[in-house]
Amino acid sequence: MLLVQLLDATKWKTGMALSEQLRLLVQEVIAVDYREDLKELLALYHPDLVLLLGNGSGISHADVLALREWPRSVWWLDDDGLERPHPAGGDAKLAATQRLEFCSAYEELGAASSEMIVYPVDPDIYQPLPMKEEERADYLLLDDATPARLRWLQAMRRKHPRAKWLAGGKGWPLESVPAAADPQSRARLLNRARAVIRWSWSGTLLYEAAACGTVPFLKTLAAEPALPDPIGGCVRFRTMTGLARKLDAFERLSSDEKRAASSRMLKASRFDYSHVPVLLQLLTTAFK
């Protein structure tokens, strides 16, 4: 396997960890940083699989053509924070994306197939951390406020007056927390809350929250079934009414049951979202 890194400097540990774990699963991994020499590397090594990590800014036209012609190639895109699909996703046979809603777009761009496969998080950073009691909250809201969300929050605060809320977005009448500028700050922020709420799907947030033992409430896509059990792990909702219903169910849990929900997230982080199962998913998909 040829592993080519195009990740930005803040994610160098991600690339290192992936290459180390891949060596446990395949016979040989040749890991290199991209230096506009992909065409030459393919001719030299003839890998069974070429895997590119990151986004394709700066890749040469000759290398794009060589990649498109290679029989088995994967571009594992770092696109969770992008507003639209990255054009490079159409240059490989398989586009592995952090965003489920981008899959069809990558296939339209030219990829033979596309699947959501999220980067595993660094367990040395994302883990349960000790927090002072005054820092703790029940719920962390990560998105900006909208009129509908403000009405929902007002109803929830009337219904659950003892719940403590934090705002990670703008426009909320709540204690505001600064945006997390680095992974360490983000892990600390997620550790402050028992549950985190986001009005969009994010596999990255799911993995980060799980590793911290924080229960994520995430808006599901239309193609995904809503999960009926609000304490089995990630809580998925479709509408504001559905979110209210599932938060009500979460509030009815005892302290022990909420701790059990947190423990289930930690277990999922170790056994379902860690490097080996994620990489096995990637390899299985690539070699279909």
Spell out the per-residue pLDDT of the chain, length 288, in tens.
Answer: 999 999 988 788 899 999 999 999 999 999 999 998 999 999 999 999 999 999 987 889 999 999 999 999 999 999 988 889 999 999 999 999 998 889 999 999 999 999 999 999 999 999 999 999 999 999 999 999 999 999 999 999 999 999 999 999 999 999 999 878 788 999 999 999 999 999 988 888 989 999 999 999 998 875 544 444 444 568 889 899 999 999 999 999 999 999 999 999 999 898 888 999 999 999 999 998
Shared fold status for 2-119+274-286 and 133-271? yes
Task: Kindly list the distances between the CA atom of residue 95 and the CA atoms of 56, 76, 117, 247, in Å, as whole numbers in the listed order.
Answer: 12, 6, 9, 35
> What is the edge-to-edge ordering of all strands in the sheet holding 165-167?
175-176, 165-167, 137-141, 193-198, 215-219, 235-237
Give the integer Cα–Cα distance in Å for 149 and 114.
32
Please list the residues that pair with 116 across neighbouring strands.
97
Residue with tokens 């169910």, as numbered in its chain: 249
Give the integer Cα–Cα distance in Å for 188 and 212.
9
| AA identity, residue 206 | L
Task: Kindly list the distances between the CA atom of residue 9 and the CA atoms of 12, 14, 16, 232, in Å, as whole numbers in the listed order.
Answer: 6, 10, 12, 36
The full length of the chain comes to: 288
Angle, alpha carbons 66-34-105 (nearest 5°): 60
pLDDT score of 222? 56
Residues of the chain with pLDDT > 90, as a percent, come to 77
* Tens of pLDDT, residues 98-122: 988 899 999 999 999 999 999 999 9
Q: Is the dihedral of CA 283, 53, 113, 119 positive or negative?
A: positive
User: Which pairing describes strands 193-198 and 175-176: parallel, antiparallel, or unpaired?
Assistant: unpaired
Fold of 2-119+274-286: Rossmann fold (3.40.50)
The reported pTM is: 0.87
* Tens of pLDDT, residues 210-238: 999 999 999 887 554 444 444 456 888 98
Q: Please state the domain extents for the chain.
A: 2-119+274-286, 133-271
pLDDT score of 5? 94
CATH number for the segment(s) 133-271:
3.40.50.2000
What do you get for the CA distance between the two ends of the chain, in Å?
16
pLDDT score of 230? 41
pLDDT score of 229? 43
